[in-house]
Every structure is written in structure tokens, then in C-alpha cells.
Structure 1
Amino acid sequence: MKKYKNFDEMFNDNDYVSEEDREIINLEVKLIGKMIEAREKQGLTQRDLAKISGVKQPAIARIESLRSTPQLDTLLKVLIPLGYSLEIIPLQKEN
């Protein structure tokens, strides 16, 4: 097994993490980060969000700590009370 100097070196090694997996991980991190940002911006605790979303607080904690990947329906249950939804947009192609 290769020795890595840091996480970035390992994460960007295509033999260790595929480009597809890296894109999935980056999307999850960005999406959950925005969810946390929206919750905090509204001054809500995880418990508050649990009450208005119907998703249990421990599940929200697991999602926010990236220990759990939410199903699409769960993600929407959390995002909609925060005033957000999901949208599919085309990727910009490089010239």
C-alpha cells in the first residue's frame, strides 16, 4: 500500500479513490454543509429541525457529521422546512 503524506494526497490518488467516488463525496460534503448553514442561519438547533421536519434528531446528527448518507426523501424532509429543495442543473462544459 502506498504511503501518503496527507489526506489530500490520498484523496486525489485515482488508484485509491476513483474520480466518480470523489465527485460523490464532494457533492455530499457540499450538500450537507449547505444544510447545516441553512439550519444555523435560521437559528435552529438539530432538535428544532427534528420537530419541524419529522426526522429524528439523532438521524440529523448522523447526517450532519457525514456518518450517514440520507435517502432522497429524508433529505427533502429536512430541506423543505428550511426553505430549500434540490434541483438538477446541467454541468458547464469546458471549452
Structure 2
Amino acid sequence: MKRNKECLDAIEKAKKNIDDIKARKTDAIGCDSLEFIDTFLTPDEIAESDLRVALIGELIKARTEQGISQKKLEELSGVKQPIIARMEKGTTNPQINTLLKVLAPLGKTLAIVPLKQV
């Protein structure tokens, strides 16, 4: 019962904070979240993050387009479903061999391609 009260209090406090932010017509940190992230990440870290997001996005897209559940992908790839879930959530950095095992049943693989010249 005490935990429910704590949760309700936290929700109420969050609502008040949101109302305050709206009343001041500003973002919580003074800028949008992407601008904020750019202030403390290096260009290399941003590029690495973008690559990870794109890679996992393609994995999820291929799996869902083919109607394959994470559990079925476990059976096809030999990679445990909780690991696949963590990969898709972005809470783990999978090794290349793990990615290759998961991508193969989806008809995908990794490729080395030249970087675009800026």
C-alpha cells in the first residue's frame, strides 16, 4: 500500500513539473534533447550511436516484416531470445558474430562499404 502511495506522489510531482515547464514555455533543459546530447558527445560518439541505431533498426525491420517473433529468431539463430530483446532495446553491444547469427536467418549480413567523402 505504501508503494502505491509513493508511486501516486511521484506521478503527481511529475505532472506539476510538466505544468511548470509548459507555463514557462521552455524545455526542461533549455533546449531540445538532441541539442543537449550534442553538447557532451563527440562527433565520433554520435556517429557510432547513429550506426548502432541504424543497424538494430534494420534488424528489427527485417524481423517484423518477415513476421518472425524474437522466440522464433532464437530457434533459427541459436541466439537466446533475451539477448535478442536486449539487442533490440539497445541495452547491449552485441559482438559481430552474434549479429551475424541473428541476421543470417533473416537473409541479411553485414558489409564493409566505403565511407561517403565529406
| TM-score, normalising length: structure 1 | 0.89
- Tell me which protein shows more helix as a share of its residues: 2
Report what 1:38 is aligned to: 62
Q: Which protein, 1 or 2, shows the higher relative CO under an 8 Å CA cutoff with sep ≥ 6? A: 1
Q: 1:50 aligns with which of 74, 80, 95?
A: 74
Decide whether aligned partners of structure 1 residues 18 and 4 sit closer, same or farther in structure 2, where only a CA change above 3 A counts.
farther
Structure-to-structure mapping, 1:10-89, within 5 angstroms:
10-13=36-39, 16-89=40-113
| TM-score, normalising length: structure 2 | 0.73
1:6 matched to 2:6:
no
Distance 1:70 1:47 in 2: 18
Structure 1: gaps (5+ residues): none
Structure 2: gaps (5+ residues): 1-28
Q: How many residues align?
A: 90
User: Highest Rg: 1 or 2?
Assistant: 2
Decide whether aligned partners of structure 1 residues 55 and 4 sit closer, same or farther in structure 2, where only a CA change above 3 A counts.
farther
Alignment RMSD, CA only?
A: 1.1
Distance 2:51 2:61 in 1: 15
What do residues 55-80 of structure 1 show as CA deviations (whole Å, max 9, x unaligned)?
00000000000011110000000001
Q: Which runs of 4+ in 1 moved over 4 A?
A: none
